Amino acid sequence: MGFKGFFEGGIASIVAGCSTHPLDLIKVRMQLQGEAPAPPQTAFQTLRPALAFHTTTGHVHPHMGHISLPPPPPPRVGLVSVGMKIIQQDGVAALFSGVSATVLRQSLYSTTRMGLYEILKQKWTDPNSKNMPLMKKISAGLIAGGVGAAVGNPADVAMVRMQADGRLPLAQRRNYKSVLDAISQMAKNEGVASLWRGSSLTVNRAMLVTASQLASYDQFKEIILEKGLMKDGLGTHITASFAAGFVAAVASNPVDVIKTRVMNMKVEPGMVPPYSGAIDCAMKTIRAEGPTTLYKGFIPTISRQGPFTVVLFVTLEQVRKLLKEF
């Protein structure tokens, strides 16, 4: 069952990831709304001579007679508006920007977490009741998610950047040709360590998602079957998986917002990065945009997490049936 569990989970994850990729891309774009771009640093700003004028926000110059205010932030738009804007600007194909990174990410991250969860599930399931206690399900999810995220982080960074590239001005776009091109350029221009940028956030998010998603799916499925609400079939799988997707979205969205911003930040050689780490990013984000921004993109998150989880587990159950004889 060891290898079989990895294979089944990998197939189901790739199908689910590709089918819901447009929603994931829109989610990333929405999570980056309101993020202040890093101001360009010129030679005058870095030298800062003693008699240089200091610019201040909202400063009234005594001889100018007017107030200098920063430009207002762009209005935040919703799920449909973001999707329509992407289609209008770059075409329908732009909704699948970074899909090669999604395939690689699911092949590494999800295959690992799904397979490892099944191994732990077999070891920790009570042989008499054939059930595993909820806390053991959560523990298995935490372990499997953490290991899977560490393995798949390079593909995750590449996916976020490829999805976010279209929102940048043409001169600032990275224009990665594929996930392999993205990974090679990051390693060449920013160092190999950049491939694990935001890895602590990725691991934390993956642990939350896997523990809440896989554990809650098994738990909801057991409750439905034990209480005789439905038989073990498509209806049970859809109901349990959609409930699991909602739980996963609520648990992971705050970490997902910070992860997206840390991974997407552009670090120029010799320049100070916009964020020094996850905590710094969280504090700056909350200070600038308020605590509710941690649930920015929640509608597309649940709109994506729900269908993703349904497709994931329905496909997984069907693949298991097909491979049951092997």
- C-alpha angle 183-186-191 in degrees, rounded to nearest 5: 120
DSSP state at residue 171: G
* pLDDT over 60 at 151, yes or no: yes
User: Rounded CA gap, 25 and 300, in Å?
Assistant: 9
**pLDDT value for 219:** 93
Indicate if the alpha-carbon torsion angle 253, 259, 262, 265 is positive or negative.
negative
Please name the residues in contact with 93: beta carbons below 8 A apart, sequence gap of 6 or more. Answer: none
* Token pair in block for residue 171: 């001169």
Confidence of residue 138 (pLDDT cuts 50, 70, 90): very high
pLDDT tens readout for residues 181-232: 888 988 988 888 888 877 787 888 889 989 999 999 999 999 999 989 999 8
Q: Please say whether the beta carbons of 190 and 231 come within 8 A.
A: no
What's the pTM value of the predicted model, to 2 decimals? 0.70
Tokens of 73: 């932030």
Number of CB atoms found within 10 A of residue 199's CB: 20
User: Among candidates 147, 165, 31, which has minimal Cα distance to 101?
Assistant: 165
CA distance 167 to 182: 17
pLDDT at residue 49 greater than cutoff 80? no
Is the pLDDT confidence value at 44 over 50?
no
Eight-state DSSP code of residue 110: I
Write down the pLDDT at residue 323: 82
Residue 228 identity:
G
Of the pLDDT bands very low, low, confident and very high (cuts 50, 70, 90), residue 56 is very low
User: Distances from the Cα of 229 to the Cαs of 98, 216, 224, 232, 239, in angstroms?
Assistant: 41, 17, 5, 10, 11
Report the alpha-carbon distance of residue 146 to residue 217 in Å, rounded. Answer: 18
Measured in degrees and rounded to the nearest 5, phi and psi for residue 60 equal -100, 115
How many percent of the chain have pLDDT more than 90? 25
Q: How confident is the model at residue 273 (pLDDT cuts 50, 70, 90)?
A: confident
Q: How confident is the model at residue 75, as a pLDDT? A: 56
Cα(118)–Cα(214) distance, integer angstroms:
10
Which residues sit opposite 146 in a β-bridge? none
Considering only residues 168 and 4, tell me which one the structure prediction assigns the higher pLDDT: 4
- Of 193, 167, 34, 28, the C-alpha closest to 101 is 28
Q: Are 107 and 9 in contact (CB under 8 A)?
A: no
What pLDDT sits at residue 66? Answer: 52
